[in-house]
Amino acid sequence: MYPIGSNGASQAILDADALGMAVMKEQDTEATLMAYEQARLAPTANIVSSNRENGPEHVMQIVEERAPNGFGHLHDVISRKELEDFANSYKKIAGFDRQTLNTK
């Protein structure tokens, strides 16, 4: 996984959580690893796919496109709501949005 959006640390924590849950639920090593893989494969693939589009850093590309000659204030180019929406969307993809974490 390419390290975009603090993925090294955050995904390691989510991996550890998924592995710990699998260890507690399964009886043998093979079943544990299969449960872990099943829990993490799709979420990790979604993050990798999003990162191919620059993940959370996609915002910088949008700002560059909207203001190729620079700008005086960021919010003249992109609204606070747009920034929050981008951040919240990525948090959801990466698995560390508030709702996902609070339901665990």
34 touches 23 (CB < 8 A): no
**2 within a domain of the structure (yes/no):** no
Report yes or no on 25 lying in a domain: yes
Residue 60 lies in a domain: yes
- Residue positions counted in the chain: 104
Do 63 and 74 meet the contact criterion of CB atoms below 8 Å apart?
yes
C-alpha span between 64 and 77 (Å, rounded): 9
Residue 1 lies in a domain: no
Q: Which residue has the higher pLDDT, 13 or 67?
A: 67
Residue 66 maps to a domain: yes
Instruction: Between 97 and 35, name the one with better pLDDT.
Output: 35
Mean pLDDT of the region 91-102 = 84
Q: Is the pLDDT of residue 9 over 90?
A: no
What does the pLDDT read at residue 41?
95
Identify the domain containing residue 82 by its residue range.
7-102
pLDDT at 22 over 80: yes
Domain membership of residue 81 (yes or no) is yes
Q: How many domains in the chain?
A: 1
φ/ψ of 103, rounded to 5, equals -85, -5
Is 97 part of any domain? yes
